[in-house]
């Protein structure tokens, strides 16, 4: 039982929350179709299968990454307790489980749709290249992680057979870059002088540079979402009341920036989301308001805005 728990932990289930991006395509396509409970259930099922496939692939990539980073993780104050680094899971067993997860994820992906399977394979290869090479290239290391979120969003749209919005891609990549640079900053703060020994690329980063990059990416994330909210695409799906979602996005980005710079946090976006009540409320309210607008489009701001 202990070994099974260790195996499950090695796939990092808490990080699977990142794969919820796959549901974005379903959520933002609600305004394009007439609501039909049976059809919506089918679409939700396809999105969920895609989510499960990416969780399987994510689990495989996390295990592979931990195998490759074994020596470095053993020097990390937190990561040394991971199942593979601590010896709770042997290398042969870890490699076998990673292979099984990869096979299951790819088979499920191609069963869902050939195009979805292709995108899933691209995602896996991208993360594999990151673990092998790209994580050692300054700036590009974080850009690859951000692009991984974009690939997830694209895969989600393919899973439910809707068009891929350029706004979805733009907003996703800027927010993902913001979170990625926040993680790099946290690693430098937590590890201190031992940061380069854990992850060589950290020797090229510094707090001042990362604070500048965070400011740039946070600004671009807010601006891109603001431009989206006044686009014809948003008005068609949500109506003018989409502007009501802006305060939640602004507060969420600024709150996370406070946690990163003011509290030296941000190493784990998922942990920050569920441990910080103001941030959790902002995200929850954004989801709730967006869902209400998609379904009802009450038009509270009709006649108020001047074109």
Q: What is the pLDDT of residues 178-200, one digit of tens each?
A: 999 998 998 898 877 777 776 77
Residue 30 pLDDT > 80: no
What's the CA gap between 213 and 216, in Å, rounded?
5
> How far is CA 48 from each of CA 41, 57, 270, rounded to the nearest angstrom?
10, 14, 19
The verdict on pTM exceeding 0.95 is no
Q: Using one digit for the tens of pLDDT, what is the confidence trace for 208-246?
A: 999 999 999 999 999 999 999 998 878 877 778 888 999
256-263's contacts with Cβ under 8 Å and 24+ in sequence apart are: 256/178, 256/179, 256/182, 257/214, 257/218, 260/182, 260/185, 260/186, 260/214, 261/185, 261/211, 261/214
Domain residue limits, the chain:
1-164, 165-297
Let me know: does 259 contact 279? Beta carbons within 8 Å: yes
Supply φ then ψ for residue 35, to 5 degrees.
-70, 125
Give the per-residue pLDDT at 306: 43
> Residue 138 and residue 61: Cα distance in Å, rounded?
21
pLDDT at residue 99 greater than cutoff 70: yes
Cα(188)–Cα(202) distance, integer angstroms: 7
Pick the CATH number of 1-164 from 3.30.70.580, 1.10.357.140, 1.10.3720.10, 1.10.150.130: 1.10.357.140
Distance CA 6, CA 292 (A): 41
The answer to whether residue 98 scores a pLDDT higher than 50 is yes
């Amino acid at each position: 039982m202990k070994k099974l728990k260790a195996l499950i932990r090695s796939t990092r289930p808490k990080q699977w929350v990142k794969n919820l991006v796959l549901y974005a395509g379903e959520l933002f396509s609600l305004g394009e179709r007439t609501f039909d409970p049976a059809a919506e259930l089918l679409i939700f099922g396809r999105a969920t299968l895609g989510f499960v496939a990416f969780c399987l692939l994510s689990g495989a990539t996390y295990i592979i990454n931990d195998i490759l980073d074994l020596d470095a993780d053993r020097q990390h104050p937190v990561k040394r307790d991971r199942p593979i680094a601590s010896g709770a899971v042997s290398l042969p067993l870890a490699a076998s489980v990673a292979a099984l997860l990869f096979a299951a994820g790819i088979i499920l992906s191609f069963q869902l749709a050939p195009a979805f399977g292709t995108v899933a394979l691209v995602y896996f290869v991208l993360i594999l290249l990151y673990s092998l090479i790209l994580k050692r290239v300054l700036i590009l290391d974080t850009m690859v992680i951000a692009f991984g979120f974009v690939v997830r969003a694209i895969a989600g749209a393919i899973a439910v057979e809707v068009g891929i919005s350029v706004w979805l891609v733009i907003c996703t990549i800027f927010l993902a870059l913001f979170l990625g640079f926040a993680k790099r900053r946290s690693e430098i703060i937590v590890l201190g002088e031992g940061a380069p020994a854990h992850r060589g690329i950290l020797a090229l980063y510094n707090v001042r540079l990362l604070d500048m990059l965070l400011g740039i990416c946070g600004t671009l994330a807010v601006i891109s979402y603001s431009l989206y909210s006044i686009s014809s695409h948003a008005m068609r799906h949500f109506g003018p009341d989409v502007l009501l979602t802006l305060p939640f996005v602004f507060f969420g980005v600024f709150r996370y920036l406070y946690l990163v710079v003011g509290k030296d946090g941000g190493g784990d976006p998922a942990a920050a989301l569920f441990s910080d009540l103001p941030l959790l409320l902002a995200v929850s309210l954004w989801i709730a308001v967006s869902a209400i607008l998609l379904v009802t489009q009450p038009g509270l701001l009709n006649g108020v805005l001047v074109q």
